[in-house]
């Protein structure tokens, strides 16, 4: 590869970029660190990736270090300080930290985190999930009804929250309701095909 600029996208591409990214990192280009770490992490080289970003002070680098520890190295507790140092003005980063807290069973930290989180649809989903953890399914349903949702394909977060809240309400002997169309998650199966209500031909 030549000496052109680094790709502007943070998406890991199929182009062989390691040599160019390492060259830029060796030259002291700070913009090369995170793309290089992503490149290595997505190729099963999590330890190498972590070494590049773990000690960096940028919130985005800390978020990446936390995700590597949590998802790639399966060290959720050690991921916490990194994700807590991440860009918590970003609702996606807040959602990731809340998901980690939920995995660890740290409900009080979830409450404090989501109280001060920015207003965003992903945060509303996490608040609905927290309400379930606090045994407040009615609040989960209220939150799911509280805003318009974009149409999203093959993503079932809101549908599963609604269904879990209905199970909790049934256990309390309260009325239940079908998943509303307003949640805007379609009825694709996990593998991508549409479910069919037509009986199978025998």
* Residue 16 burial by Cβ neighbours in a 10 Å radius (0-12, 13-18, 19+): exposed
Q: What is the pLDDT of residues 4-27, one digit of tens each?
A: 665 565 555 566 789 999 999 889
pLDDT value, residue 144: 97
Question: Average pLDDT over the chain, rounded to whole?
Answer: 88
Is 78:110 a contact under the CB 8 Å cutoff?
Answer: no
- With b meaning 16 or more CB within 10 Å and e meaning fewer, what string describes 126-140? bbbbbbbeeebbebb
d(CA 59, CA 65): 10
Confidence check: pLDDT of 1 > 50: no
d(CA 96, CA 169): 27
pLDDT value, residue 198: 42
Share of the chain above pLDDT 90, in %: 72
Task: Specify the pTM.
Answer: 0.84
The pair of three-digit structure tokens given for residue 161, joined into one six-digit string:
């929250």
More confident residue, 157 or 192: 157
**Domain map (residue ranges) of the chain:** 1-82
Is 5:32 a contact under the CB 8 Å cutoff?
Answer: no
d(CA 54, CA 75): 14
Is 138:169 a contact under the CB 8 Å cutoff?
Answer: yes
d(CA 29, CA 122): 33
End-to-end CA distance of the chain: 59
Confidence check: pLDDT of 177 > 60: yes
Q: What is the pLDDT of residues 183-199, one digit of tens each?
A: 998 766 565 555 444 44
Confidence check: pLDDT of 201 > 50: no
Is 109:101 a contact under the CB 8 Å cutoff?
Answer: yes
d(CA 54, CA 111): 27
More confident residue, 150 or 17: 150
* Cβ atoms < 10 Å from Cβ of 5: 7
Nearest in space to 55 (alpha carbons), one of 41, 37, 39, 73: 37
**Range 36-62 average pLDDT:** 96
Confidence check: pLDDT of 161 > 70: yes
């Amino acid at each position: 590869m030549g000496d052109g600029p680094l790709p502007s996208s943070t998406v890991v591409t199929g182009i062989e970029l390691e040599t160019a990214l390492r060259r830029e990192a060796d030259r002291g280009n700070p913009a090369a660190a995170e793309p290089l770490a992503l490149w290595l992490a997505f190729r099963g080289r999590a330890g190498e990736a972590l070494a590049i970003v773990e000690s960096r002070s940028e919130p985005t680098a800390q978020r990446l270090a936390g995700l590597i520890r949590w998802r790639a190295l399966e060290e959720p507790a050690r991921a916490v300080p990194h994700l807590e140092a991440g860009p918590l003005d970003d609702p996606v980063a807040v959602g990731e930290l809340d998901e980690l807290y939920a995995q660890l069973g740290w409900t009080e930290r979830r409450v404090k985190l989501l109280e001060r989180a920015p207003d965003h649809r992903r945060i509303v989903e996490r608040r609905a999930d927290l309400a379930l953890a606090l045994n407040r399914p009615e609040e989960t349903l209220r939150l799911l009804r509280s805003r318009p949702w974009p149409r999203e394909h093959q993503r079932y977060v809101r549908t599963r929250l609604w269904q879990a809240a209905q199970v909790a309400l049934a256990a309390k002997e309260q009325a239940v309701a079908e998943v509303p169309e307003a949640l805007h998650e379609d009825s694709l199966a996990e593998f991508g095909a549409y479910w069919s209500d037509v009986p199978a031909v025998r």
